[in-house]
Chain A
Amino acid sequence: MDMGGINPAILIASLMVASVPIILAALGELVVEKAGVLNLGVEGMMIMGAICGFATAVATQNPYLGFLGGAAGAACLSLVFAVLTQVFLANQVATGLALTLFGLGLSSLIGQSYVGIKPPLTGTVPLGPLAEIPFLGPILFDHDWMVYVSIIACGAVWAVLKYTRMGLVLRAVGESHDAAHALGYKVVRIRVLAILFGGALAGLGGAYISLVRVPQWTDGITAGAGWIALAIVVFASWKPWRILLGAYLFGGITVLQLNLQAAGARIPVEYLSMSPYLITILVLVIMSSGKGKAALNAPAALGQNFHASR
């Protein structure tokens, strides 16, 4: 079953790989936004995760430690955001932008000595004969473990937000921090933890780009993935499962245009490479125009700083 030299099974399998960084980063940002904080620094945290993960993996020659390092590096950067917005009560939009600008600079500073190095290989999960099943095998059972982690994380975030006390408290803080504070919940502490969680997930996503997707280090390697993750959160109207949908849609377009480039389509390469960004904008427009339905789902205290005056 070939469509102009593009095999659909491989296409689906590679779109799942392509969307992993965005799923992880968007899930993290979803939790952060559910707690009422708008962190626009996803791009900066992702690229810090990418370089920290890369550096750790190269130093230890262990991709798994690399992912941990990436998550830790990005969480450290998000701690700066947490301190600035939660303790120093700085404007969240401006601080998020600062995080991105700083992250891009710092990552390329750290990354200088890593250009041209190959990271250790992240292997596929050995699922034995399952991977041999025609069509379904390559799609479902022939991936590295992060692909499965991203899907499991999606389910876990959904379950925690929906069914646990912790999720309820988190959502309460995001809907009305004053009410949550009056009930005795530590608004600032909960938000700081949410921001750190978001940072760690963005870092995992970034590390996936530099360790598996590309896999090498170049400046600006994330190429706007963090911004697309932010857009996907809006697209998903703050629902975890829809993030999976949005990210696969986006990953599908990315992979398709890469395949078209490789197949030598008549459309110039530049126009193909801009298509994911254009589609993301289009999707944003559709989601936000539908009688404000998506906007209704937004946490009510999103982007507002909390200062306990009493």
Chain B
Amino acid sequence: MVRLEKRPSPSAFWQWATPVLAVILTMIAGGIMFAILGKNPVEAIRTIFWDPLFNEQFAAYSRPQLLVKAGPLILIAVGLSLGFRAGIWNIGAEGQYIMGAICGAAVGLALYPLETRWVFPLMVAAGIFGGWLWAMIPAILKTRFNTNEILVSLLLVYVAQNILASMSIGLLRNPEGGGFPGSRNMSQIPAMANPELIPGTGLHWGVIMAFVVVIAAYILLQRHILGYHIKLAGQAPRAARFAGVSPNRLVVLCMGLSGALAGMAGLFEVTGPSGQISIDFNVGYGFTAIIVAFLGRLNPIGILLAGLLMALTYIGGELASFMLGLPSAAIQAFQGMLLFFLLAVDLLTNFRIRFGTRKEAL
């Protein structure tokens, strides 16, 4: 008989080994899924995980894309991980991402055609503010009225998407765009652009900020009292209350931080890789970032690696749909599967598996 025995404390080895195991299991299960779709599984897995980085034909294009896609994922996921650690579930990062992009772009476009170097920093500030403000709605409702933050933050994503649709055909529409929806292309206006800083690397300001945020979050969690409070509130809420940690303050802080980071990611995306406010400029980074946060074990360094891996599946998925005709939705299912396997093998971190019948311990 198989039975589970709770470990006195989580296994340090499995804590790092489970994400690797989950990735391997996902590759196997994904291979089976691709085989069902009538594709050669080995070739599909190689196209997704190997070719974007090492195939000479594609690497020149896809290597820079790695940072472009990982940047926003890491930014958002680091913010989310702080809240997840404290048991505060902000799952509306997609909405905060959109609102950050809209607010930042609105400031920039209002100042058009002003050409000073202060425009871009101002837009970044507005983007951060927009995301923060959108996250404050569930935070305040949670602290004031005890409303479930999971549902409110998620429902606000749909509201944000409608605002985005309205903005891209209304207020922010390019007046010289011939009536087409979508704003001016900000990546081509020097004062507002978020350009590739070193040609051929994909490095833009958002990626730099992602690295900065990873380091800052690491220091916060390891060395700062606030980071300690966040961890304490998640692991032992009662103990945290007795220690004088205010749950409401943590909700406002964690929601605000994750919203601000998501908003910042949105602004960098809309001024750089995507270029303009349009109905579908958002591609679900806010949701994928949830997977990134868990895959990275809610640890900033882990999230950095997980963000790069998840970016790789995006690029590899595009490549596979281009080369092998693999449906682009397959990669979304693949990413979801990864989270399943991760949650399943996580059992090994907290429990020991024992075989045979139980011996009564005296």
Q: Report which A residues bind B (CB closer than 8 A).
A: 40, 80, 83-84, 88-91, 93-95, 97-98, 101-106, 108-109, 111-112, 219, 223-224, 227-228, 230-231, 234, 268, 270-271, 273-274, 277-278, 280-281, 284-285, 288-289, 292, 295, 307, 309
> Cα distance A284–B152 when bound, in Å?
8
Per-residue CB contact flags for chain B residues 326-362 toward chain A (1 = under 8 Å, else 0) read 0101111111110110011011001100000000000
> Cα distance A227–B6 when bound, in Å?
34
B291 within 8 A of A: yes
User: A94 contacts which chain B residues (CB < 8 A)?
Assistant: 294, 339, 343
> How far is the CB of A88 from the nearest CB of chain B, in Å?
5
Per-residue CB contact flags for chain B residues 145-161 toward chain A (1 = under 8 Å, else 0) read 11110111011111100
B162 within 8 A of A: yes
B332 touches A105 (CB 8 A): yes
**Considering the complex of A and B, which 3 residue pairs feature the smallest CB-CB distances, nearest first?**
A102-B336, A105-B332, A105-B333
User: B159 contacts which chain A residues (CB < 8 A)?
Assistant: 274, 277-278
Closest B residue by C-beta to A102? B336
B210 within 8 A of A: no
User: B157 contacts which chain A residues (CB < 8 A)?
Assistant: 224
B147 touches A284 (CB 8 A): yes
User: A230 contacts which chain B residues (CB < 8 A)?
Assistant: 151
A108 touches B329 (CB 8 A): yes
> Cα distance A79–B172 when bound, in Å?
45
B336 touches A228 (CB 8 A): no
Given A104-B332, A105-B333, A274-B159, A284–B290 Cβ distance below 8 Å?
no
Q: DSSP majority for the B interface?
A: helix
Closest A residue by C-beta to B146? A288
> Cα distance A288–B346 when bound, in Å?
33
> How far is the CB of B144 from the nearest CB of chain A, in Å?
8
User: A289 contacts which chain B residues (CB < 8 A)?
Assistant: 144-147
Closest B residue by C-beta to A112? B327
User: B91 contacts which chain A residues (CB < 8 A)?
Assistant: 97
Given A97-B290, A224-B158, A289-B146, A284–B151 Cβ distance below 8 Å?
yes
User: B170 contacts which chain A residues (CB < 8 A)?
Assistant: 268
Q: Which of B250-303 contact A (CB under 8 A)?
A: 287-288, 290-291, 294
Q: Report which B residues bind A (CB closer than 8 A).
A: 4, 6, 37, 89, 91, 141, 144-148, 150-152, 154-159, 162-163, 165-166, 170, 287-288, 290-291, 294, 327, 329-337, 339-340, 343-344, 346-347, 350-351
A105 touches B290 (CB 8 A): no
Closest A residue by C-beta to B331? A105
B329 touches A98 (CB 8 A): no
A109 touches B6 (CB 8 A): no
> How far is the CB of B326 from the nearest CB of chain A, in Å?
10
Given A89-B351, A271-B162, A281–B343 Cβ distance below 8 Å?
no
B146 touches A292 (CB 8 A): yes
> Cα distance A203–B194 when bound, in Å?
44
- Taking a contact as CB atoms closer than 8 A, the residue among A80, A90, A106 that contacts B347 in the complex is A90
> Cα distance A249–B242 when bound, in Å?
42
> Cα distance A220–B78 when bound, in Å?
27
User: A40 contacts which chain B residues (CB < 8 A)?
Assistant: 150
> How far is the CB of A284 from the nearest CB of chain B, in Å?
5
Closest B residue by C-beta to A113? B327
B166 touches A277 (CB 8 A): no
> Cα distance A270–B334 when bound, in Å?
32
A270 touches B145 (CB 8 A): no
A280 touches B166 (CB 8 A): no
User: A277 contacts which chain B residues (CB < 8 A)?
Assistant: 155-156, 158-159
A281 touches B344 (CB 8 A): no
> Cα distance A234–B155 when bound, in Å?
14
Closest A residue by C-beta to B84? A94
Can you name 17 A-B residue pairings with CB atoms under 8 Å? A84-B343, A94-B294, A97-B91, A101-B291, A104-B332, A104-B336, A105-B330, A105-B334, A109-B329, A234-B151, A268-B166, A271-B166, A277-B158, A284-B147, A288-B145, A289-B145, A309-B6
User: A80 contacts which chain B residues (CB < 8 A)?
Assistant: 340
Closest A residue by C-beta to B3? A308
> Cα distance A83–B341 when bound, in Å?
12
> How far is the CB of B14 from the nearest CB of chain A, in Å?
13
Closest A residue by C-beta to B350? A89
Closest A residue by C-beta to B91? A97
User: B145 contacts which chain A residues (CB < 8 A)?
Assistant: 285, 288-289
> How far is the CB of B303 from the nearest CB of chain A, in Å?
15
Given A108-B329, A224-B155, A309-B6, A102–B146 Cβ distance below 8 Å?
no
> How far is the CB of B166 from the nearest CB of chain A, in Å?
4
A98 touches B152 (CB 8 A): no
Q: A108-B329, A109-B327 are in contact. List 20 more A-B contacts (CB 8 A).
A: A40-B150, A80-B340, A89-B347, A89-B350, A90-B347, A97-B91, A98-B336, A98-B343, A101-B288, A102-B333, A102-B337, A109-B37, A109-B329, A228-B155, A231-B155, A277-B155, A280-B155, A284-B147, A285-B141, A292-B146
